[in-house]
Amino acid sequence: MQAVWAQIDGIGKIVTTNVAYTVRLLLMVYVSIRATFFNQSQGLRTVFSVVSSQIYFTGWQAMPLITVLALASGGIVILQSAANLNLVGGAQMLGHILVAIVVRELGPLLTALVVVARSGTAVASEVGNMRANHEIEALESMGINPLSYIVFPRILGGVVSVVCLSIYFVLISLLGGFIITKLIHDMPFNFYVDSLARAVAFEDVWLFLLKNSFSGMIIFVVSCYQGLSVKKSPTEVPVVTTQAVVKSIIYVIVFNLSVTILFYLHQLSKMGVI
């Protein structure tokens, strides 16, 4: 019986730790937004210069990798879907399957993973090193709030980058993937576009934007938070960077999964199943 209680205690501890961590993250987001909008000294120009460089590093520089990934995953999904649907005579369902897999799930998730790997690590180690080198304290001593100068622009730049990258991923995946498939499999372009157009609904756009904007926010909030958690030593930087990656991935996956579940429950309730 004691072992069971110990297990329950363990689970409770994990839950409370994660809830406390999430509350701290939300608090940091609130304080950084508040600091940005209540700061009389910091002009929009300062924020936008950091936002634009963040978009350049996170969005623009990730495009080659996203292109390769989108072409490969799009090609595979289209090829497999078309081949299997043809076998069972359901080729007209191709659009629905592509929207369900690429637009709703693969696009947001793979883009988020690429951004975690490239930019989440960069931001966590950059902010961590700034902390270790007293750069954050230096900003404070100059009367510059690190939350409005460092954190907020990175979150905003990250959200914009992830949304744009994800749109780019979906476009390349669906169009580029089709071209690759065309080399192997004979499929009329008109049929393909028509099938996709019929499958995309207004809800898909909301789902897509919701998943991507929040994924972007999660990645950069977690990375900044982990970076700022460095106390003094540069040896802490690799540790917090690893934690930033692990926590970002977990939070993004849990968030995407929750949204997907809610979306399908909503669909089922609309159909009158539940």
Task: Write out the residues near other proteins by the rule CB under 8 A.
Answer: 35, 38-43, 46, 126, 129-130, 133-135, 137-145, 231
Retrieve residue 260's tokens: 């997907």
69 vs 122, which CB is nearer to other proteins?
122
By CB atoms closer than 10 A (0-12, 13-18, 19+), residue 232 is exposed
39 vs 248, which CB is nearer to other proteins?
39
- State the amino acid at position 186 in one-letter form: D
Angle between helices 189-199 and 177-184 (to 10 degrees): 140
CB of 139 to other proteins, least distance (A): 8
149 vs 214, which CB is nearer to other proteins?
149
Residue 91: Cβ within 10 Å count: 17
CB of 233 to other proteins, least distance (A): 12
CB of 134 to other proteins, least distance (A): 4
Retrieve residue 127's tokens: 């902010």
Residues 6+ apart with CB under 8 A from 187: 82, 178, 181
Angle between helices 236-271 and 107-115 (to 10 degrees): 170
CB 154 within 8 A of CB 220: yes
102 vs 150, which CB is nearer to other proteins?
150
CB of 54 to other proteins, least distance (A): 12
35 vs 79, which CB is nearer to other proteins?
35
35 vs 100, which CB is nearer to other proteins?
35
CB of 141 to other proteins, least distance (A): 4
CB of 153 to other proteins, least distance (A): 13
Which run of H or E residues covers position 236? helix 236-271
